[in-house]
Structure 1
């Protein structure tokens, strides 16, 4: 989970630590990284997507889709490959 650490945006080191902890018990293909869009800037979203890619997670989930800005959608369009 890449949200609810109490800071905005969440520290990358803590998100990576959470992913590493989860991967110790669960295969990466069964994990997705939850990202809270309301507290994120486009650069932060790209960083979190990069963590999901680097750790070979199954994907990402955006929390509170109704609050995603156009800037964040633009960042996601160039960073994320949608499933078909």
Structure 2
């Protein structure tokens, strides 16, 4: 490609956002709403074992804290008292 053709391609009018075709948004997957988040060491261990996820003993307090925070956020998103 010659330098002149490169310049012409660079300077040609570009498409505006309105001219660019857009696919319609896909429907989000529908998943059942779980209102319960595992709480307590035994329940967390049981849910993790059912999914084949090992939780190291030194990580257990952090996992419990993160799940408690997740449960709080879920209650807030549902409009329930935190």
Shorter-chain TM-score tier: under 0.3
Question: TM (normalized to structure 1)?
Answer: 0.25
> RCO higher in 1 or 2 (8 Å CA, sep ≥ 6)?
1
Using structure 2 for the length normalisation, give the TM-score: 0.25
Larger % of strand: which?
1
Question: Which structure has the larger Rg over C-alpha atoms?
Answer: 2
